[in-house]
Amino acid sequence: MNTPNYPRILTTTVGSYPVPSWLQATPTEQSLIDATRVVVDIQRQRGIDLPTDGELYRFDVNHPETNGMIDYFIRPLSGIRSEVGRQDWNAFRQMHSMSFRAKPAGVVEGELGEGTLNLVSDCDRAVAVAGRNLKFTVTSPYMLARTLLDKHYKDFDALLSSLSEVLAAQVKEIDCECIQIDEANIPGNPEDGPRAAKAINVLLDAFDGKKAVHFCFGNYGGQVIQKGGWDALIDFLNSLRCDHLVLELAHRPEADLEALKDVNTDITLGIGVIDVKVNPVESPDDVAASIENAENVLGSGRVGWIHPDCGFWMLQRSVVDRKIESLVKGRDKYLGIA
């Protein structure tokens, strides 16, 4: 993608797209294929440089608040029991792992294995209908590990290492333009930065292509769930072996942008300029002003990507499509692209 034909600031989406009502009504494989084609085409028609597949294959009516970010990855793995009883709930609460989650996504009772998880197939489905110029998203092993009640390894780092290796084995076989690792828990737990970075790097090292890492402060049913700021995470960000970062900034205070001046210059910065937690649609002027402000703070050439703060799954399609359009038009306005 880094060719003279592309602008110096590229546009992308973060991952999810609202599930079309007709896919929810008829959730067949053919409907999923057709919906994926529609979602990618919508992004491309509006000028998105690196689209995502919409993560439509993850949607679970039983977990609408996270759009399958956790359970899609956890439930198929071998060594994990997904049926969770009262005692499991109580034990998980005592761990104080996640204040926004009352029960574990699963109980680890044996050595972890890939089970029926098939990331390769899900990526191949999108590539088959839309080509390789896509970004495929994978939830961070650190975030996934935090949702588990571990009765086998009885050591968080051992659990995290095993989970990383299982995911990396599949990531290694994914064939698309870019992979993005999603992490929404470490912003509220910066002290765990070294162990989280080690786990995320296992996945990044396994992929032969462009590598991105997305961070936000939570989007649980549209609510912020993590406290803190980017200033506490700079060492962590600098330890990631990725090409670019995909960072929540539209819904963040100005000081967060200032902190990013200390990110290593060999990591390209992606800044959120579209707020996914509100319905009002940003104008192209709003987007252009956000880019200008970011470059004034960070310096010309540091911003390589613009995008929404997070996934779009909880908004209406009519709102999402207009936000995507403004994202591209605002970039073009700022760069003077006709």
d(CA 163, CA 113): 8
Q: How far is CA 80 from CA 24, 74, 161, 225, 250, in A?
A: 28, 8, 15, 26, 37
Report phi then psi at 182, rounded to 5: -105, 130
Name beta bridge partners: 11.
306
What is the structure's pLDDT at 264? 95
- Start-to-end CA distance of the chain, whole Å, equals 20
Q: Where along the chain do its domains lie?
A: 10-335
Q: Which residue's entry shows tokens 């506490």?
A: 232
**At 221, is the pLDDT very low, low, confident or very high (cuts 50, 70, 90)?**
low
Instruction: Give percent above pLDDT 70 in the chain.
Output: 91
pLDDT band at 85 (very low <50, low <70, confident <90, very high): confident
How far apart CA 277 and CA 290 sit, in angstroms, is: 17
* Cα 247 → chain centroid: 10
pLDDT score at 20? 93
Q: With a cut of 50, say whether residue 2 has pLDDT above it.
A: no
What pLDDT does 86 receive? 86
Tell which residue, 78, 79, 53, has the closest CA to residue 68. 53
Q: Look at domain 10-335 and name its CATH class.
A: alpha beta
How high is the mean pLDDT of the chain?
91
Write down the pTM of the prediction: 0.93
On the question of pLDDT at 220 being above 80, the answer is: no
